[in-house]
């Protein structure tokens, strides 16, 4: 199966429209902070023939596949093995301190979900890995087998919004003492057995929230995002635009907070005239978070939880 068949970019038309006003000029640079298999990047390069693209991904396998897909665009695309909070360093190395567009498509890529041995999907048995970059960091199995119970409860509650966190962790600790976890199917079965009947009747697969929590912990997703979105805003030239696709409420709340803060005056209350340095540096481009259309969800179920927010840089920050 080629990358085009495996990966359907989410809210593609809307992302392109959102970034379009910033990318029409020759020499415009757009950064795809979450390259994946290159679906959004390919469309950006095709739609804006005068633009250059910088693509980041922490997953070496994704970079390889994206490089094949984007090869026809030659040196208009520069692909870098990096986590997206490393964006300022990447741009400094490339001699491109300011860019006209930034796109984030957060969450797990189709590649990671579809490759069973990566351990992201609770629907099939696989090694409990969940690292987006398998060359570094600790696996989900190590988290389950070594973290103190209190830390596991906090992770499941905070990152998975799992109401039954304590019950699940008690079962995990009992089981891991007898035999450490290494496969996803065993964890899914344990979660099913640990939950009360009522909890199993709602919200799809009962393992979904635990797998989300482990994945976020293993990849440091929220702490990375917390650094990455403000850094991306800082790299935008005046008139530059940012679009962020989130897939769960924790990500979306964080993105909303950063963009809303940038679009708010920092002036002390009561000033008759607001000096330039206190005025907002961003203009919001979306009313709240925009959702995918019903037709897109029907064609691509992975689009269902997507939430898109966008903003435009409207002034430099004056010290």
Annotated binding site for S-adenosyl-L-methionine: 38-40, 57, 84, 105, 112
Task: List, in order, residues 6 or more apart from 142 with CB less than 8 Å away.
Answer: none
How far apart (Å, rounded) are the C-alpha atoms in residues 159 and 221? 10
Q: Give the Cα-Cα-Cα angle 160, 132, 223 (nearest 5 degrees).
A: 55
Helices (H), 85-180: 87-93, 110-114, 140-146, 149-160, 165-178
Considering Cα of 293, then 295, then 298, then 303, what sign does the dihedral take? Answer: negative
Cβ-based burial of 44 (10 A; exposed 0-12, middle 13-18, buried ≥19): buried
Using CA atoms, how far residue 79 sits from 38, 54, 71, 140, in Å, is 10, 6, 11, 28
> Where is the binding site, in residues?
38-40, 57, 84, 105, 112
Residue 7, phi then psi, degrees to nearest 5: -125, 120
């Amino acid at each position: 199966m080629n990358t085009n068949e495996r990966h359907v970019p989410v809210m593609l038309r809307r992302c392109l429209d959102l970034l379009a006003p910033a990318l029409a000029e020759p020499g415009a640079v757009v950064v795809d902070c979450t390259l994946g298999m290159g679906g959004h990047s390919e469309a950006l390069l095709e739609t804006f023939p005068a633009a250059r693209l910088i693509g980041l991904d922490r997953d070496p396998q994704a970079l390889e596949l994206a490089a094949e897909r984007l090869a026809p665009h030659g040196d208009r695309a520069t692909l870098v093995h990096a986590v997206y909070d490393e964006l300022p360093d990447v741009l400094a190395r490339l001699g491109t301190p300011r860019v006209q567009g930034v796109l984030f498509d957060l969450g797990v890529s189709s590649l990671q979900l579809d490759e069973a041995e990566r351990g992201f999907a609770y629907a099939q048995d696989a090694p409990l890995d969940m690292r987006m970059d398998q060359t570094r960091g600790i696996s989900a199995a190590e988290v389950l087998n070594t973290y103190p119970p209190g830390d596991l409860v906090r992770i499941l509650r905070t990152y998975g919004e799992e109401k039954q966190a304590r019950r699940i962790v008690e079962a995990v600790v009992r089981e891991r003492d007898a035999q450490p976890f290494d496969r996803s199917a065993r964890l899914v079965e344990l979660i099913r057995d640990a939950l009360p009947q009522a909890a199993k009747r709602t919200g799809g697969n009962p393992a979904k929230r635990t797998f989300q929590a482990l994945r976020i912990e293993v990849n440091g997703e929220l702490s990375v995002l917390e650094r990455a979105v403000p850094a991306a805003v800082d790299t935008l030239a005046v008139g530059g635009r940012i679009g962020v696709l989130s897939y769960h409420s924790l990500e979306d709340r964080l993105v909303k907070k950063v963009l809303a803060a940038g679009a708010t005056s920092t002036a002390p209350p009561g000033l008759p005239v607001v000096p330039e340095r206190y005025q907002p540096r961003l203009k919001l481009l979306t009313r709240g978070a925009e959702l995918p259309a019903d037709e897109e969800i029907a064609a691509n179920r992975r689009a269902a939880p997507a939430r898109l927010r966008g903003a435009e840089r409207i002034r430099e920050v004056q010290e």
